[in-house]
Chains A and B, each alone.
Chain A
Amino acid sequence: MHNFEFLRMVNIGQYLPLQSVLHRLDPRARILIYFCIIAAATFTSSPLGLAIALAVTFIGFWFGRIPLRFALRGLLPPLPFLLILAFLQIFLTPHPDEATILYSLGPMKIYLAGLISAGLLLLRFAVLILGLGLASYTLSTSEMIHGLESLFSPLARLGIPTHDLVMVVQVTIRFIPFLAQAAERIAKAQASRGADWGTHKGGLLARTRQVIPLVLPLFLTSLRRAETMALAMDARGYAAITRRTSLMVMHFTWKDALAILLGIAAGVTILWVG
């Protein structure tokens, strides 16, 4: 029974402060590696490529000492949507006229091509979700922010406010667990007054309806909170000077270079086999 543990569903954005080889790499190296793998998994068209990408992600979990069960749980919340998408994909995939019909039910016909592309879709999303999960478990927000900032620093010379943009990302990430916690508290308060939360009843319509009274207090508390946070940031001198410095000092070593090369190699392989 975990009816009200909304936080449980949010494992993207959950950093796990472990001491692994992966965690010790330069954040910029990690960002580049994850980017290579995720981009390659997005664009490859072959099942073999995706299988390799999946394997690379699992190797990543192993190096990062991420508990596998925890990582796989990230697949559960979006699973219903993925299944619906895959189901549609089966019927919507274009096919050559002479293709073999595997099964037919009235006007609905299932072709091999449809099945394959539905399977690919599921596999691709699984890889992407796991890959993003890997990134968020091993990159703390501060690492990601300073890493991105450093990688984007050439853009600042063109007059793009990379600093503020990165801050926006940081505060957004800070708010994700908050929203989950707030939603949990509101749902509990409403359940105590007879709303249908957590009584394992009700169809899709009923479930959608109960979300509506959740939205207003969630908005109000978030706005109020954002206001206080802005005030607290002001009080601590944010935007007072243009050049912020950083707690984190990044050292790029040969290990990081090697890791990036491996990442690029993995990405190229995934694309090349396809």
Chain B
Amino acid sequence: MHTYQLSRLQGALQVRQGGTVCQGICGMTINPAGLPFFCPGYVKIFPIMANAFISVEDVHFQHPVRGGESTRALNGINLQIEEGEYLAIVGANGSGKTTLGRHLNALLMPGQGRVLVNGKDTRDPQNHPAIRSTVGMVFQSPEDQIVAAVLEEDIAFGPENMGLPPAEIRARVEEALTITGMQEHRERPPHLLSAGQMQRAALAGVLAMHPRCVIMDETTAMLDPGGRAMVKQLIHRLHDEGLTVIVITHFMREAVEADRVVVLKEGTVAFDGPPRDIFIHPADLYSMNLDLPIAARLAQSLRPIFPELPADILTPEALFRALPSYMGALLPDSLPRPSHARNDCADIIKVEDLEHVYLSDTPLAHSALTGASLCVGEGSSHGLIGSTGSGKSTLLQHLNGLLIPQQGRVRVGAFDLNDAATDLKAVRRYAGLVFQNPEYQIFEQYVGDEIAYAPRLMGEKETLRETVRSAMTSVGLDFETFKDRFTFALSGGERRKVAMASILAMNPAILLLDEPTAGLDPRSRRGVLEHLNGMQTGSKTLVVSSHHMEDIAELAENVTALANGRDQLNGSAASVFHQVEKINALGLEAPLVSQAAAVLRSRNWPLRPDILRPAELTKNLSQIVEGSHA
């Protein structure tokens, strides 16, 4: 890392001194048109600044804070981005990556230093129209970027702002709809689109401006595996067509798809280079609250068994390619059959053939559930998987009486929800539901009051303080530190924990969680998962829905996969994820370990059928290796 920072410094010096030094050092030549040619194989390029497509020069920026000291977000960033690059900007929450992204299309102006886009300075308002039609930006929450009430009208918003003639706008709207595959939704109101569709719509709105560069600011954080794959495919296609793509993310598995990775730490560039170089010092990554991509982590733990695995495995594809075939003797007798047997349902939750239609009797009616069944054993943990719109949230809301069955039966504990006389408030206390987005849940000013809300309503007085304390402790929030904090000043991970604690304060027998880790950075995500795992060893029954199959593999004993409002796969987590093909067919993505196990099985490894976690895979593999040596 030291040598690296030195070269960074030299780079900055070279840039300041102008083109000649740089030319000498990296062997760059200038063609008559003034465009730089790069020496092949040389990674770090410091071209002459006026020629870089986007040039960030010693940029400092502070976020103003009302009545307080402003927080420093960027601390002297230098960056040259060439046309046609595929660049990933990574960093933990608060590292300044979004702030940097917003400097690149003049949404923020540097406090010190300058940003040039195509040679135009972002500080000059005269340049803004040109800069913003050159560099387009897609934001994290898809619903907030859609301006118009009809989709195609929204896509036309950018070109309309550019003052293009109607025929040209029409052509561009059609083109953007085709690229993103949204033609059939052109007349739908945006609030009725799914998150994945909305994100594609937002991208279409940017593409219609014919930008030369697209910045994607954590655009996949809220999407399901199908949506993520779709966006990834789109990015690759745009890049292949010559567009400059800048992806801002905290997921390493997305960063390694890029040609170049820039890691930010506390507002400075901590690394700049091709993805394979970043993982030479994993320890540095951990110190920045980042993580190796899971494929690299799995490769690492498999290397003692397969020493021939190359050192630079970053993507699942590379890992699968490198996995060896089994050469030992086949012992078909010892192969256990996959067990589909489930925990015998001493069921605390029983759902049969549940159907639900939203906005029934209106032209906007749509079915969310079309005959879903679910059975959850007492004290077990159950995972719900399914793509967006498969009915997970609707099903969860039936389990605590927010929704009443229209068709079919629901029983939760001793409560029969088909019975109109059932006390719904008691059901909600018995089965606590933590929603996906904590924004909508938190309404008190102080953390302590927020968590005390439910027990207070239930009439608790003397024991209130103790209840709040134990609820906070069980999610890992220190009572004394956090009880008087303002709720609006919490970080994303902390908000999630407060929302969870506010449900736990009711001491529910069943805990229902809707996407508990969506949108969190790797460290907060690990924190939430650890606490859930801890809780599970207690006596609570857990029902968790998630887009992240890795989370489910870590948390759940049993899994139900939903598609089109119906349960498609049921059984123990191992037996469900064992069916890698079927999971993929549902638009989901089996956990990497299950996928790797499937690849190994196809290469004749006699693996057990119930492998779910990396440790189980390595243990089973080493048993086989030892066995064949013996």
Q: Which residues of A contact B (CB under 8 A)?
A: 1-5, 7-8, 11, 13-17, 67, 69-70, 73, 140-142, 170-171, 173-174, 177-178, 181-182, 185-186, 188-196, 198-199, 213-214, 216-217, 220-221, 224-225, 228-229, 231-241, 243-249
Shortest distance between the CB of B65 and any CB in chain A (Å): 16
Say if the beta carbon of B424 comes within 8 Å of chain A: yes
Closest 5 CB pairs of A and B: A247-B156, A240-B129, A232-B145, A141-B149, A228-B144
Q: Provide the B391-417 mask, 1 if CB < 8 A to any CB of A, else 0.
A: 000000100101110100000000000
* B147 to chain A: closest residue by CB: A233
Q: Provide the B149-190 mask, 1 if CB < 8 A to any CB of A, else 0.
A: 110110011111111111001100100000000000001111
Which residue among B164, B169, B439 has the maximum number of chain A CB atoms within 10 Å of its CB?
B439
Tell which of B149, B209, B358, B442 touches A173, judged by Cβ atoms closer than 8 Å.
Answer: B149
Say if the beta carbon of B506 comes within 8 Å of chain A: yes
B458 contacts which chain A residues (CB < 8 A)?
194
Given A228-B144, A246-B166, A140 and B397 touching (CB < 8 A)? Answer: no
* A184 to chain B: closest residue by CB: B440
Tell which of A16, A188, A194, A221 touches B454, judged by Cβ atoms closer than 8 Å.
Answer: A194
B107 contacts which chain A residues (CB < 8 A)?
231, 234-235
Tell which of B187, B191, B437 touches A17, judged by Cβ atoms closer than 8 Å.
Answer: B187
B102 contacts which chain A residues (CB < 8 A)?
231
A225 contacts which chain B residues (CB < 8 A)?
144
B161 contacts which chain A residues (CB < 8 A)?
236-241, 244
Can you identify 5 A-B contacts, CB atoms within 8 angstroms? Answer: A140-B149, A192-B433, A195-B457, A240-B162, A247-B173
CA distance A58 to B432 in the complex (A): 47
CA distance A225 to B139 in the complex (A): 12
B133 contacts which chain A residues (CB < 8 A)?
237
Shortest distance between the CB of A22 and any CB in chain B (Å): 15
Shortest distance between the CB of B23 and any CB in chain A (Å): 36
Given A228-B145, A246-B160, A240 and B128 touching (CB < 8 A)? Answer: yes
A140 contacts which chain B residues (CB < 8 A)?
149-150, 153
Given A16-B363, A142-B150, A236 and B453 touching (CB < 8 A)? Answer: no
Say if the beta carbon of B552 comes within 8 Å of chain A: no
Shortest distance between the CB of A75 and any CB in chain B (Å): 14
CB neighbors of A among B414-439 (8 A) = 424-425, 428-429, 432-433, 435, 437, 439
Given A67-B363, A245-B164, A229 and B397 touching (CB < 8 A)? Answer: no
Tell which of B137, B152, B166, B400 touches A235, judged by Cβ atoms closer than 8 Å.
Answer: B137
B506 contacts which chain A residues (CB < 8 A)?
193-194
Given A195-B457, A236-B157, A229 and B147 touching (CB < 8 A)? Answer: yes
Whether B143 and A178, one on each chain, are in contact in the complex, defined by CB atoms closer than 8 angstroms, is yes
Whether A193 and B453, one on each chain, are in contact in the complex, defined by CB atoms closer than 8 angstroms, is yes
* B435 to chain A: closest residue by CB: A189
CA distance A67 to B162 in the complex (A): 39
| Contacts beyond the supplied A192-B432, A240-B162: 4 A-B pairs with Cβ under 8 Å | A8-B359, A174-B190, A220-B439, A244-B160
CA distance A236 to B131 in the complex (A): 10
Given A5-B358, A5-B359, A234-B107, A229 and B439 touching (CB < 8 A)? Answer: no
A194 contacts which chain B residues (CB < 8 A)?
425, 428-429, 453-454, 457-458, 506
